Amino acid sequence: MSMKEFISGFSGKPLDKKQIAKGMHLCYMNARALRDEAILLKQNNHHARALSLIILGLEELGKIPMFCNMILLRADEVEAWRKPWKELQSHKVKLGVWTTYGKRVLSVLGKGYEVELPSGIEPLVDKFKQLGFYVTFFKGQFLYPENVAEDNHDWFEYFQGILDERIKSFEPLHGSLEKSTELTDKAEKFVTTMKKAKTKDELKEMISHWISQYASNGTANTKAV
């Protein structure tokens, strides 16, 4: 295989529901692995890389709802597929999932995560991730990754708390390939049903019914919406 053929293999193409399910499951597993490796690094005083890996875990988990959004795209909608594949390469968008995703649904239900990532914080989070890997020149001096991380232990705990909470809530949906596959089957019906809601109260009733019905078989919980 030539280098050109290898590189072109990474370009995004339409996915079927089985592929989307596998992508969501693998992103979940990788986010969990990144979290575990970050903790190991921190326990061995490698604070800089630990901070970066925790943030990478958030980005990887943020790809799951982005893949889920592909479920309603038709295979022949070539232009429509370009946007989500492009967004999957954006650190800002992947982190932004945790400041915007599900806000409408969560506000209707009056539920949410205990640890929130404030809207607009994405550039700062991405900068922390970069500082954990690279020497940076800032305001007339060089910053060494380990020195930056040692002065920001609280940030590691904060980001880990966010990642832990979301990993826990996503486990019933993506802890296995079978669970992710089941979600893709139900998500299409869910989104289609939600479009029929004409008022906020009607939307609330539909969402509550869907969650109670879906949660009853042990595959979901309200925090995973």
Greatest mean pLDDT range, 71-80, 130-139, 151-160, 194-203: 130-139
Q: Give CA–CA dist 142/123, Å, rounded.
A: 20
Q: 8 falls in which pLDDT band (50, 70, 90)? A: low
- The string over 159-180, giving b where at least 16 C-beta atoms fall within 10 Å of a residue's C-beta and e elsewhere, is bbebbbebbebbebbbbebebb
Q: What is the pLDDT of residue 204?
A: 66
- Cα 62 from Cα 36, distance rounded (Å): 17
| pLDDT beyond 50 at 45 | yes
> pLDDT-based confidence at 224, cuts 50/70/90?
very low
Mean pLDDT for 153-176 is: 90
pLDDT-derived band at 221, boundaries 50, 70, 90: very low
Residue 110: which residues within 8 A CB-CB, separation 6 or more? none
Global pTM? 0.79
Span 89-144, pLDDT tens digits: 888 888 887 766 545 444 544 556 777 788 788 999 999 999 999 999 999 999 99
pLDDT at 48 exceeding the cut of 60 = yes
Q: Which two tokens stand for residue 127?
A: 């900068």
Q: What is the pLDDT of residues 33-43, one digit of tens each?
A: 999 999 999 99
- The tens digit of pLDDT for each residue in 180-197 reads 998 888 877 776 776 677
| Mean pLDDT confidence for 49-61 | 95
* Residue 157 banded pLDDT, cuts 50, 70, 90: very high
pLDDT of residue 7: 66
- Write down the pLDDT at residue 215: 47
What average pLDDT does the structure give for the chain? 81
pLDDT classification of 219: cutoffs 50, 70, 90? very low
Q: Is the pLDDT of residue 74 over 90?
A: no
Using an 8 Å Cβ cutoff, are 46 and 120 in contact? no
